[in-house]
Amino acid sequence: MAAQVDGLMADARLWQAAVRGRAPAYHRILDQVLELLAEGGAVAEQVDAAWRGRSFSIFYERPLLLLASIRFDALGRGEGHPLWGALGAAEPDATSVTREAVMAALASESLWRSMRDRFVQTNDTSRAVAWLWPARLAGCDGAERPLALVELGTAAGLNLVADALPNVWTDAAGGPLAVATSLDTRLRLGIDLRPLDVDDEDAVRWLRACVWAGETERLARLDVAVSAFRSSEPRPVLEAGNVGEAPARLAHVVDELPRDGLVIAFQTIVRDYLDRTTSAAYERGMREWLGATPRGRALWLELEIVPGGDDPARLAVIRAHAPDGSGGVASFVLGRTGYHPVDVVADARAVSALCQVLPRP
């Protein structure tokens, strides 16, 4: 059996184990796909042909790309799609997933084009807490200091306009988390290997397809974010580039800001998609950029999954890195949250330490 087929089968089982209890329609679709792959034949050949030469860095990428590609077709075709009830209806019906329906869905040529040419890009704006909260801590709220905002791995750039969206986050006590809302933003820049254009309805449909069927709150927030991006003036600038090029670009951004300005570079669930060599080079480059930047002028923020925590609902951490003033970098885990953040459990000592190395103007 071809390597890509073996990879999809192994990854699908890992994904099913990791999200057991969620998205039952997705599980049933994968069950049917796994049976078809085990039999060999046309479906296995199409998987191998679509992904020949592609690499996948994290176990959930293959199954989610397959599911998003099917859902993309369903959203395009509407109720006539064989899996509309499972993937397009407001309330997914897992019982509508049959072997015949899955086989009919997999007969679509456009599905295999998506499998070949597209990439999983969720652009979940709940993850924007990774920069909105630290921006408040750094004294950017109320337009108190000029801000340059740079997102690494930006997809469609929707997190760059998240300050125009409702504050949906709470603290450990259940009260609203204080985030930045009124900003003097001089630059909103997104860098991505394959940035998406929200003026392209096809791209917006793909963003919707990457949100799991039935997750209506996420879909609603995505739609609001698309509207906010389209109406923002000036619009964020999206550039095609890889993360390895980011540190040099960020150095220029610092130089273009007033002396009391702050550059915030941030990423949300990016490391999973990088191989070890690329990730190590990226980390090194970002730390070199921070080490060469004056104290108080730059902040690198990461929202990334850190497996092994005590609470499965808070497997993500918000980590901050800032120049320490002596050519080095100070790093802090500001808090823990979920894969799609709702509440943030802050580490008060880390927050205090960050404020000391990143003084307000």
pLDDT 10s digits, 289-327: 999 999 999 999 999 998 766 676 788 999 999 999 999
Contact 133, 169 (CB under 8 A): yes
Pick the CATH number of 125-196+213-357 from 3.30.450, 1.10.357, 3.40.50, 3.30.420: 3.40.50
Contact 361, 144 (CB under 8 A): yes
Where are the extended beta strands (E) located within 98-226?
146-152, 184-192
Cis peptide, bond prior to residue 146, ω within 30 of zero: no
pLDDT in tens, 141-192: 999 999 999 999 999 999 999 999 999 999 999 999 999 999 999 999 999 9
Domain residue spans of the chain: 3-117, 125-196+213-357
Contact 124, 340 (CB under 8 A): yes
* Single pTM value for the model: 0.94
Name the residue among 126, 107, 83 with its Cα closest to residue 220.
126
Name the residue among 121, 154, 132, 138 with its Cα closest to residue 246.
154
Where are the extended beta strands (E) located within 19-172?
146-152
